[in-house]
Structure 1
Amino acid sequence: MNERLTVQSFGPIRQIDINFRKVNLFIGDQGTGKSCIAKLFSTFRWLEKALMTETYSLDYFTKFVDARFKKQLCGYHRIDDFFRDDTYILYESALYKFVYADSMFKIENKKETITGLPKIMYVPAERIILSSAEKKLKTFDGLPASNLTFNQAFWESKERFKDGYALPFGNLSYKYDSLNDNSWIVGSDYRVRLINASSGIQSALPVCIVSEYLGNIVASGKERPMSVEELQKLQKETAKIMENENLADTVKNAMLKHLSGRSRYNCFVNIVEEPELSLFPESQNSMIRLLCKVNNSSTDNMLLLTSHSPYTLAILNNLVLAYKAYEKGDDEIKRRVAEIVPPEYHVDPDSLAAYSLTNTEMENYQSVLSESSGIISKNDLDSVSEIIMREFNSLYRIYATTIK
């Protein structure tokens, strides 16, 4: 993972410079820029994909920057009004370099070989609307367009799991009656319509089934669906390479390999806002584990989480510690670790990035990973807990004086 994002003066972000890894966590107070980072990352990953598939030309978004880059591209996530006069944005990967500065947008193609395309999904915090609506929503008035994209993936996932899906918590399962267009949550001795289920279930189910559905598509290695126009274009380019007698076989093979990368997904980029939404801490644990399991199903997958919950930090720490103990342990230790946390959930500390965002500093972010251990260390959320405990102790001492 070698994606880098540098942002100055954009929405709530004053200044950040972040290198992304396989698992990425952004945690902190409201309005500190967590979702803004996630949406920028999603935007540039999608733009990379659009350029790789030649859906758009290299200069499409660099011309008419206000109408295309800002309104069309950034407007998809409703961040088009976050720009200021001194906004600076740099996103760089192995394939492209994007720079927005002085109201200009520039793209540099590094001309690296494409090994496959990302399957990108942005999971919005507003997802509970999908579960609480019985019928498929066709419009999302007042909400970002990303909700419509997630809605489509949710319904495809429901069809995939219509015979049953076990939720990762509560001994609950999901069943979809496609004939009557009804969704059911089934317990050990009861069932309720999804629209009548708890808010936690309504929030969690779309995340779970969409993540597993798309993760399975990528892990299968099958060719991705392409439009007739896209397929014809790919076939023409292939024939043009094969018929060119001036190209050496080694060059042809390299060019064909580059083209073949456009026909399949090589990774699932899963961007989830507030996975803990409306969930009890034990269920949060199950949710984060599931997302990490899906992320581990393919080498190049990426997981990006935004969160307000301190439990997210503790859960990831457990998965990191499980990885470290399992990797260094003998067979007996591996067995004991696996009984607590099976290997499919483990998180390599070298693949984890975790940042705390605040409103208090000029650079309003800081890594909360310990360089020596790779484990998440003390952060602002711990400070809040300490404040609450200090208040409790002070109040209890006062209360004690009233007891006679």
Structure 2
Amino acid sequence: MSKIRIKHFGPIQEGFPDEGGWLDIKKVTVFIGNQGSGKSTVAKLISAFMWAEKSLVRGDYTQEWFEKKSRLKDQLLRYHRLDSYLKYNGSERSALEYEGEACRILYQNGTLSIEELDRRSYQLPQIMYVPSERNFVAYVKSPKELKLSSDALMEFLTAFENAKQHLSGSLPLPVNQTQLEFDKLNDTLNLQGAGYKIGLTEASSGFLSLVPLYLVSWHLAETVKKQNASAREPMSSDELLRFKKGVEEIWANASLTEEQRQAALTVLSARFTKTAFINIVEEPEQNLFPDSQQQLLYSLLALNNLNSGNKLIMTTHSPYLINFLTLAAKAADLNNQNMSGLDGAKVHQIVPHAAATPGDDLAVYQFDEQNGSIRKLPSYNGLPSDAHELNASLDKSNESFAELLEIQQQGL
């Protein structure tokens, strides 16, 4: 299982005090906390280090290339606009460590080092970072129209465009029994509901947030599933030699810009079959009614369960999502129990079988913006605890209302 350890990086100060400071990256990992507490920071670091690990395994870049001074800051961190986070109170004290299935990456005292691990269990992933700024992508005809400072957002726009072009027929959305259709002639996405059909750009803010997230997630998860089903044998030694020669020729071509070199490496590396989908999603609940949050979450969990190596990593402000995750864990527990009289159909009506996720596969971490710390939400009988900051906010509002009623009584 992959894990990450962080100290003195952006809003993260001492980080996670337990388990040696290691945050487990489980099949479903959720980060909760106030604005500026570091949820997205950690999610982006996971994305960056997983990409580096994949690039090392494929041979896109060498260990020496990554270990070159400033490569972490100028390449991995700048991609997610985290390059300024290495400074902590005016000095560089950041300590970052990632341990994956294929390598261990350590950044300490301004130096990056990489240690290769046994790669036999490594599953080459398709990694997608779904940013919170996704709401406007429905209005963009082509990513080339925009000049964005965020490479991650640009990549998501490209993935959205690609998913749109591969959409044939209609795609059922997990909200309001709505279908998504793509009109290739007019290059528009349309929503088809009961008795209506409208363009996505005319839809509510909830659909503008949901459709890019779900379409890209569905397309990539299904693509990886198909690649797994039709996976051929690993590269032969001759094929691997030809691949490495192609990489060397790309690096030796001094006329290529960095962008052109990356594009050429991506095309060459496409020969490797991806066997896992890492879906990193910021705020999946954006602009959605609680029932819609539930249906979207169950759909993302179902996509996550398509392959054993898939992982779903989310940041959220929604107490509902944590509660719905608890339902998914309880449903998995019931599905695994051999109990006479257990009504599996009723369990399925509450949580679809495809979305059920064992509690051991879940990890929820709570971030504190006041002191830059992280704590792991405890679990009871495999279910996430409801004693977390999001539920505490709801309790606080109920207590405040009780106080107002008491004041009212005193005034009578």
1:142 CA displacement: 4.6
* TM-score, normalised with respect to structure 1: 0.87
Report the residue type matching 1:183 in the other structure.
L
Q: 2:347 — aligned with what? A: 337
1:161 CA displacement: 2.0
1:373 CA displacement: 3.6
What does 1:141-152 align with in structure 2 at a 5 Å threshold? Answer: 141-152=147-158
Deviations 1:7-63 (A, max 9, x none): 100001112330111000001111011000100000011001111111111110211
CA contact (8 A) 1:269 1:303 kept: yes
Q: 1:23 — aligned with what? A: 28
Count of equivalent residues: 374
1:342 CA displacement: 2.2
Q: 1:235 — aligned with what? A: 239
Q: 1:355 — aligned with what? A: 365
Three-state SS of the structure 1 residue aligned to 2:223 is: helix
**Which range moves more in the overlay, 328-337 or 170-179?**
328-337
Alpha-carbon distance between aligned partners in 2 of 1:101 and 1:34, rounded to the nearest angstrom? 21
1:391 CA displacement: 1.1
Q: 1:255 — aligned with what? A: none
Q: 1:196 — aligned with what? A: 202
Report the residue type matching 2:130 in the other structure.
V
* TM-score, normalised with respect to structure 2: 0.85
Three-state SS of the structure 2 residue aligned to 1:10 is: coil
Three-state SS of the structure 1 residue aligned to 2:67 is: coil
CA contact (8 A) 1:117 1:262 kept: no
1:331 CA displacement: 5.7
Change (3 A) 1:223 1:155: farther
Q: 2:67 — aligned with what? A: 62
Gaps of 5+ in 1: 226-230, 241-259
Counterpart of 2:82 (choices 53, 66, 79) is 79
1:168 CA displacement: 0.4
CA contact (8 A) 1:276 1:309 kept: yes
Q: 1:257 — aligned with what? A: none
Alpha-carbon distance between aligned partners in 2 of 1:340 and 1:264, rounded to the nearest angstrom? 35
Q: 1:269 — aligned with what? A: 278
Matched, 1:5 2:14: no
What does 1:142-181 align with in structure 2 at a 5 Å threshold? Answer: 142-181=148-187
Deviations 1:96-148 (A, max 9, x none): 01010111111111242265410111001011110133x12315445411111
Report the residue type matching 1:381 in the other structure.
L
Report the residue type matching 1:42 in the other structure.
S
Report the residue type matching 1:391 in the other structure.
S
Matched, 1:218 2:221: no
1:399 CA displacement: 2.6
CA contact (8 A) 2:281 2:314 kept: yes
Alpha-carbon distance between aligned partners in 2 of 1:283 and 1:178, rounded to the nearest angstrom? 28
1:209 CA displacement: 1.2
Counterpart of 1:44 (choices 28, 44, 49) is 49
Matched, 1:301 2:306: no
Alpha-carbon distance between aligned partners in 1 of 2:355 and 2:329, rounded to the nearest angstrom? 9
Alpha-carbon distance between aligned partners in 2 of 1:270 and 1:107, rounded to the nearest angstrom? 24
Change (3 A) 1:347 1:376: farther
Change (3 A) 1:372 1:224: closer
Three-state SS of the structure 2 residue aligned to 1:271 is: strand
Change (3 A) 1:203 1:394: same
Three-state SS of the structure 2 residue aligned to 1:397 is: helix
Superposed CA RMSD in Å reads: 2.4
Q: 1:128 — aligned with what? A: 135
